[in-house]
Amino acid sequence: MGLFDVHAHLTHPRLLPRVEDVLSNARSAGLSAIISNGLNPDDNEQVRLLAEKDPLVRPAFGLYPVDAVLHEMTEQGLDYPREPGDWTAEEAVQWVRDHVDQAIAVGEIGLDGYWVPEDFWDRQEQLFRSLVQVALDADKPIIIHSRKREQRCFEVVQELGATRVNFHCFGSKVKRARRYAGEGYYFSIPANARRSESFTRMLETLPRDRLLLETDCPYLSPDREKTNEPANVLGTLAYAAELWSETEASVLEQLEDNYCRLFGSPP
């Protein structure tokens, strides 16, 4: 059996310069798969190249919901910590469509109502729908970013008939997560679960066959003073074993089964 991280950003500027050490640390912790999620065509290409170099990295290609409408937001003078790239949203969707056969999943994609004002929501949803359809056409699972628009993400994937869906770092109410899990969707729990009441409750109350591990590194570290890495899923595994009163081996067996069911191959 092998540990895994289904949502990492290995190409982030805080990780990429030392990515060999990050991957070495992950291997030492027992990981056998890290899904590095792309944010836009430029980042997707970096993910693709990194996955070509190291089989530990499984590429997921996507379009971050803010990046999807960043050109329009910038034109209206709205600030965001990242500048828009030299591509249109349609070109970004086409990039994913052209390369989806190389990906383990389409992600991250979704809807964001935290950074994105309501005036841009229709456009954002149009692009999200296009990417869900890309995943469906290619028979690939979907990794969803759903900030402040969780219910609408759920409604869209339900309407389009997507069943292989993981909600990463779910920030809405736990009872909503339980309802979505009851519909067959998955939830990946970040490495900061020990200091998060919400993620602890998800580990305690969601169906165990719908749970996965993630880091969202370099964010959401279990130690606020340190940069997060995929190796930190080991701590979440230990925490789940404590909460479930199970051995780490039995918890890992369950989580590995979940990974295989969603992604179609063992980690």
Assign 73 a pLDDT band (cuts: 50, 70, 90): very high
Asked if residues 3 and 237 have their Cβ atoms less than 8 Å apart, the reply is yes
Q: Quick one: pLDDT at residue 266?
A: 84
Question: Would you identify the CATH topology of the domain 3-263?
Answer: TIM Barrel (3.20.20)
Asked if residues 217 and 235 have their Cβ atoms less than 8 Å apart, the reply is no
* Alpha carbon distance 204, 181 (integer Å): 13
Distance of CA 29 to the CA centre of its chain: 20
- Mean pLDDT score of the chain: 97
pLDDT in tens, 214-240: 999 999 999 999 999 999 999 999 999
Asked if residues 217 and 9 have their Cβ atoms less than 8 Å apart, the reply is yes
Share of the chain above pLDDT 90, in %: 97
In which element (H, E) is residue 259 found? helix 248-263
Structure token pair of residue 135:
């995943």
Burial code (b: 16+ CB inside 10 Å, e: under 16) for 214-250 equals: bbbbbebbbeeeeebbbbbbbbbbebbbeeeeeeeee
Assign 2 a pLDDT band (cuts: 50, 70, 90): confident
pLDDT of 66 over the 80 cut: yes
- 3-state secondary structure at position 57: strand
Strands, E assignment, the chain: 3-8, 31-37, 57-61, 105-112, 142-147, 165-168, 186-189, 211-213
pLDDT in tens, 132-156: 999 999 999 999 999 999 999 999 9
Across the range 106-124, mean pLDDT stands at: 98
* Alpha carbon distance 255, 132 (integer Å): 25
Q: Quick one: pLDDT at residue 17?
A: 98
Asked if residues 25 and 231 have their Cβ atoms less than 8 Å apart, the reply is yes
User: Which residues, in sequence order, are bridge partners of residue 35?
Assistant: 58
Assign 1 a pLDDT band (cuts: 50, 70, 90): low
- 3-state secondary structure at position 86: coil
Residue 222 has phi, psi (to 5 degrees) of -65, -20
Across the range 107-117, mean pLDDT stands at: 98
